[in-house]
Amino acid sequence: MDSYKEICVNTKDGVATIWLNKPDLHNAVSIQMLEELTDCFHSIEQMDNVRVIVLRGKGKSFSAGANLVNMLTVSKSGYEQNLDDGYKWTSCLSSIASSSKPTIAIATGNVFGGGNGLLAAADMVIADENAIFSFSEVKLGLAPSTILPYVLTRVNQQKAKFLMLTGKRFSAAEGYDYGLVDFLTPSEKIEALLNSIIADLRKASPSGIKEIKRLIRELRYCSNIDEVNNLTANSIATLKISTEAQEGISAFIEKRKPYWLVENENE
């Protein structure tokens, strides 16, 4: 991960912080950045010592969306090249959303276009109260195609239509009301809030977190009650016989900390 050019990563105390690292361009997203993010999330997935992922942007903004200079060049190269780039977006967003580790995104400055997709793919979004958002694609002759499925997990269809059809800019407070943002805070309180959430996540069992994320993801595709019943009954049965669940229950009964908390303290 040291070879990345457009993102940078640091890992400390069980937290991997991924920074979009093109501050001079307000972290405009290039295809290289998408590829690096995808690779980074896949790599972190294999790291047992990482419990939480934080996604944020260097400089004044989280992300001003796609790099338009690059996009214009690629737009003239034909359908196949642009299809390949579209899949780079879907792969990146999928790698964020499907991570078994809880992911927190920090919205600061401008969050335009595809930047909103990176936020929406995360599990939680903390926004600086001064951040400004926009689904600006429609003003460029485009649509927020690849990010739309992730935005619709947060914003209802009618609000999404309004925001995407107009491309209007909206405040962090409005983003909170629409559901795009989970936590709204002054910039000077972001770190304290982030650390508080991370502390709570580190108290939870890693297997429990992983299973909750899996269930939420898969329940969306269940078409009837029998599928729901089968998925959830198998889930709890599998968890109950796991070493981690037996440790967690025993620790509670014995009034001691489970091993994952003890390990945290030793990091």
**Domains 7-200 and 205-266 equal at CATH topology level:** no
Reported as a single tens digit per residue, the pLDDT across 234-259 is 999 999 999 999 999 999 999 999 98
Class of domain 7-200: alpha beta
β-sheet bridge partners, residue 11: 16
| pLDDT score, position 218 | 94
Class of domain 205-266: mainly alpha
| pLDDT score, position 265 | 60
In 3D, which of 154, 158, 156, 110 has the Cα closest to residue 135? 110
Question: At residue 60, does pLDDT exceed 80?
Answer: yes
Q: Which residues contact 92 (CB under 8 A, 6 or more apart)?
A: 34, 35, 37, 38, 41, 118
Reported as a single tens digit per residue, the pLDDT across 180-230 is 999 999 999 999 999 999 999 999 999 999 999 999 999 999 999 999 999
Reported as a single tens digit per residue, the pLDDT across 77-117 is 889 988 999 999 999 999 999 999 999 999 999 999 999 99
Q: Where are the domains of the chain?
A: 7-200, 205-266
| pLDDT score, position 70 | 77
Token match 């899996």: residue?
A: 214
Q: What single-letter DSSP state applies at residue 133? A: E
What are phi and psi for residue 55, nearest 5 degrees? -115, 125
| pLDDT score, position 73 | 77
| pLDDT score, position 175 | 98
Q: What is the DSSP string of 82-127?
A: HHHHHHHHHHHHHHHHT-SS-EEEEE-SEEETHHHHHHHHSSEEEE
Token match 């999928």: residue?
A: 94
Percent of the chain with pLDDT over 90: 88
- Average pLDDT for residues 63-79, to the nearest whole number? 80
Question: At residue 267, does pLDDT exceed 80?
Answer: no
| pLDDT score, position 261 | 84
Reported as a single tens digit per residue, the pLDDT across 107-158 is 999 999 999 999 999 999 999 999 999 999 999 999 999 999 999 999 999 9
Question: At residue 266, does pLDDT exceed 70?
Answer: no
- Average pLDDT for residues 43-59, to the nearest whole number? 96
Band (pLDDT 50/70/90 cuts) for residue 264 is: low
